[in-house]
Structure formats: C-alpha cells, structure tokens
C-alpha cells in the first residue's frame, strides 16, 4: 500500500522508491529470514532421516513398549520390575526426578530463608555463620557438593551390622536411613480420611472466623480449633478402629530388612541440591529484604511494632515481590541440577534414560524425551510461580 502511495512521487523513479521503501524492505528481509529458518529446519529433518537410513537405524517411539529387562533400585510411587516396559522405566525416572526436585525445593527454600534473614541479623555470630555458609556452598560446583555428601559423609557411616541406633526404631548405616513402615489397616485409612477432613474443616473455620471478625470485630481462636481438628479427627479414627502397627527394620543376612528405607544416593542428592541451592536463595532473600525501603521498617517501629513482627508483617511481605521472580529460576536450576544424580547412581530420568539409550540404541528418541520432560517440568514450575507471583503482587486499593 505504502509503495503505491509513494510511487507517484518520483517521475521515473519507481525502482528507487521501491528499494528505499522501509516497509517493502521489512517484508523482504522477514520473508528471507522465514525462508532461511524453514530451509534450515527442512535440511535438519531431511539430513537426520537420510543419515539414520544410511546408518540403518530404526526410528520411532515404538521401542518404548518393549520389556525393559533391568531393575531399578528406587521406585517408591509406582510398581516396577524387569518385566515392565521401557516407558514405565522412564516414568519411574521422571517420578524420581520430580521427587528429589520437590523435596529439594521445599528444603532449599526453608534453609535459604533462614540463612538469608540470618545474614541481616544484628547478632554478629549468626550473621557471620550465615555468610560463611553462603560463600562456601555458592562457590563450590554442585557436583562436588553431591560427592561431599555421598563419599564424604554417607559412605563413612558404619556397615549394616554396626548400624547407628536412632530413636523410634530407626537406623542409619552406609546403606541408607531405615525407618519403620506403617502396616496398612482400616484404622489407617480412616485416619487418612480424618486428616483430610480435619484440614478442610480448619480452612473453613478460618474463613468463617475471618469474615466474622470483619463483620463484628470478634476474634475466634482459629489456631487451637485447627490443631484440634487436624490431630483430633485422625486420633478418633485410631481410637475407634485400633492403633496402627509398625513394621520395624531388623538385621537380615546382608542388611536391615523390613520397614522402609531411604537410600544414600537419594539422601546425598537431596541434601546436596538443597544446601547448594539454599545459598543462592539466601542471597535472593537478603537482596529482597534490602530492597524494601528503610522508611517502611522505621514507620513500623514508630507505630510501636517490635523487630520480629516488623520483619514478619511489614518487611517480608513487601520483599516477597522482589524475591519470587529470581526464586523461580533457582527452582528451575535445582530441577535441572538433579540430573547430576547419574554420578552417584540415583535412578533419575537421565540415569534410567541413559541405560535405555544404551540397551536400545535409540539416542535421538531418548535425548528428545529428556528435553521434552525437562522443558515440561520447567514450564510447569514457571507457571506455578507466575501464579504465585501474581497472588503476592501489590494490590492497589
């Protein structure tokens, strides 16, 4: 359109005006770029297919239905044996990755907040200890932190026969942490239902009490009621149907048998990722708190709030807005760093996928699955954190 309007300006200069027209130029270069990208994509796909055929490699994801033939040591959330399929083996890997990522994120956040706030403490010792923590873990590669826990701490624990006795029938040795498992019973199921009912009830009570306070100004002991509901209902179930029995670990031929156990591979990965990521989170928390204007806490002090409530009620809620966005990328880092599990033999997605890659020779497919899974996990984390961020954002009144 523009060219048509411009064209009549020059008498014999149709060509020059076309060449000089920024819109025409823009279209031209955009079409050129698009063609280059499509061409590159076509070339990659075409070349891949051709090379795969030349190397006589089968393609496709059909191999995932084959029998895996290998065992996986840790599959707490799903049934798995060597008779399961490759797809099920991968699923075990995905679940293991997610397990360590989720518990790691929770622990890292807790440690990170404590240390981050500790670095701003008025107490010299706490402040310096927190600084040392951050500097040590932030400046060491995560793989070394994992090796530190695995080879330095957990391998040094005694053999199964000399297990360290801990309270409540739990044991610690170089094969992991052993704890009693609860034997399933009707009382247990009922107690589980009671627990959920208790939590839901507590939430309802809190909502009702909040509304009542807004309407009438009367307060209600929400905390005590909630505690009563959450503990009382499962307890009632146990009293009615009998208390649960426990399966305690006892020394077998080779190792402790019975009960349940957490392997040293999981523990070292979990501890390493938590401690490592916590050092970054601590810095983010410190930066966030520093980012809240000094006037805010001064105003709170002027109103008579003491240091604790000032931090809790005035500073942290405002700091959260600064903290959450960079926190998201730390969560993503932790999830991705969990692939270092392969170095210590924890069966995460990469370790299991690597075995499958080797057993089936399907490198392109397996690497594609890796990428898709990590991408999905990251996108899910980001979406959740964006939602959380929106919830915490400043609401202008």
Partner 1 sequence: MKNSVLKGALAASALVLLANAASAATLDDVKKKGFLQCGVNTGLAGFGAPNDKGEWSGFDVDYCRAVAAAIFGDGTKVKFTPLSAKDRLPALQSGEIDVLIRNTTWTLSRDTQGFDFTGVNYYDGQGFMINSKKLSGINSALQLSGASVCVQAGTTTELNLADYFRTNKMEYNPVVFEKLEEVNAAYDSGRCDAYTTDQSGLYSIRLTLSAPDDHVVLPEIISKEPLGPAVRQGDPQWADIIRWTHYALLTAEELGITKANVDEVKNGDNPEIKRVLGQEANTKLGTDLGLTNDWVVNVVKAVGNYGELFERNIGAGSPLKIARGINAQWSKGGLQYAIPIR
> Which residues sit at the interface with partner 1, rule CB under 8 A?
44, 47-48, 50-52, 54-58, 69-73, 81-82, 143, 151, 155, 159, 174-175, 252-255, 257, 264-265, 339-340, 342-345, 347, 350-351, 354-355, 357-361, 363-364, 366-367, 370
Write the DSSP assignment of 114-131 as a string of letters.
Answer: HHHHHTT-S-HHHHHHHH
| Angle, helices 86-118/264-290, rounded to nearest 10 degrees | 40
**Quick check: 104 and 280 in contact, CB under 8 A?**
no
Query: Whole-number minimum distance, CB 42 to partner 1, in Å?
Result: 13
Given the complex with partner 1, which of 174 and 225 has the nearer CB atom?
174
Q: Which is nearer to partner 1, 68 or 277 (CB)?
A: 68
> Taking the complex as a whole, how short is the minimal distance between the CB of residue 105 and partner 1, in angstroms?
20
CB of 9 to partner 1, least distance (A): 49
Residue keyed to tokens 């107490």: 123
Cβ neighbours of 100 (radius 10 Å): 23
Cβ 104 to partner 1 shortest distance, Å? 17
* Closest distance to partner 1 from the beta carbon of 392 (Å): 34
Q: Which residue in the block uniquely carries the two structure tokens 């939430």? A: 203
Least separation in angstroms between CB 252 and partner 1: 5
DSSP per-residue codes, 225-265: HHHHHHHHHHHHHHHHH-PPPEE--EE-SSSEESSEEE-HH
Return the number of the residue (367 or 380) whose C-beta is nearest partner 1.
Answer: 367
> Which one, 20 or 81, has the nearer CB to partner 1?
81
Cβ 254 to partner 1, closest distance in Å? 5
Looking at the Cβ atoms of 91 and 133, the one nearer to partner 1 is 91
Separation in Å, CA 54 to CA 40, 49, 240: 21, 9, 70
Choose among 145, 139, 157: nearest CA to 340: 145
Specify the residue, 55 or 394, whose C-beta has the smaller distance to partner 1: 55
**Strands of the chain, DSSP E:** 164-166, 170-173, 176-179, 181-182, 246-247, 250-251, 256-257, 260-262
Beta strand 181-182 with 176-179: parallel, antiparallel or unpaired? unpaired
Nearer to partner 1, 41 or 317 (CB): 41
DSSP helix/strand/coil, 55: coil
């Amino acid at each position: 359109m523009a060219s048509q309007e411009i064209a009549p300006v020059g008498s014999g200069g149709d060509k020059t005006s076309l060449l000089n027209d920024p819109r025409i130029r823009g279209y031209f270069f955009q079409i050129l770029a698009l063609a280059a990208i499509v061409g590159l994509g076509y070339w990659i796909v075409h070349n891949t297919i051709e090379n795969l055929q030349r190397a006589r490699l089968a393609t496709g994801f059909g191999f995932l239905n084959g029998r895996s033939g290998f065992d996986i040591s840790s599959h707490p959330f799903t049934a798995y044996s060597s008779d399961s399929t490759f797809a099920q083996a991968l699923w075990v890997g995905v679940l293991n990755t997610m397990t360590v990522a989720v518990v790691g994120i929770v622990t890292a956040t807790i440690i990170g907040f404590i240390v981050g706030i500790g670095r701003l403490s008025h107490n010299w010792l706490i402040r310096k200890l927190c600084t040392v923590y951050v500097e040590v873990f932030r400046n060491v590669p995560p793989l070394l932190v994992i090796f530190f826990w695995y080879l330095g701490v957990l391998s040094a624990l005694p053999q199964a026969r000399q297990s360290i006795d801990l309270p409540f029938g739990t044991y610690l040795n170089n094969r992991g942490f052993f704890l009693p498992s609860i034997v399933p019973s009707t009382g247990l199921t009922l107690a589980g239902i009671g627990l959920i009912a208790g939590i839901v009830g507590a939430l309802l009570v809190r909502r009702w009490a909040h509304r009542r306070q807004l309407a009438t100004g009367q307060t209600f002991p929400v905390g005590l009621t909630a505690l009563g509901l959450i503990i009382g209902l499962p307890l009632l179930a146990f009293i009615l149907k009998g208390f649960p029995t426990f399966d305690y670990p006892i020394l077998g031929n080779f190792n402790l048998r019975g009960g349940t156990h957490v392997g040293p591979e999981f523990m070292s990965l979990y501890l390493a990722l938590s401690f490592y990521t916590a050092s970054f989170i601590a810095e983010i928390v410190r930066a966030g708190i520093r980012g809240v204007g000094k006037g805010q806490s001064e105003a709170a002090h002027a109103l008579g709030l003491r240091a604790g409530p000032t931090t809790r009620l005035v500073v942290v809620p405002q700091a959260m807005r600064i903290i959450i966005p960079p926190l998201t990328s730390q969560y993503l880092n932790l999830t991705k760093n969990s692939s270092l599990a392969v170095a210590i033999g924890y069966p995460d997605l990469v370790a299991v996928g690597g075995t499958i890659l080797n057993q089936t020779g399907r490198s392109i497919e397996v690497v594609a699955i890796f990428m898709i899974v990590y991408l999905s996990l990251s996108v899910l984390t980001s979406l959740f954190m964006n939602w959380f961020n929106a919830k915490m954002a400043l609401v202008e009144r």
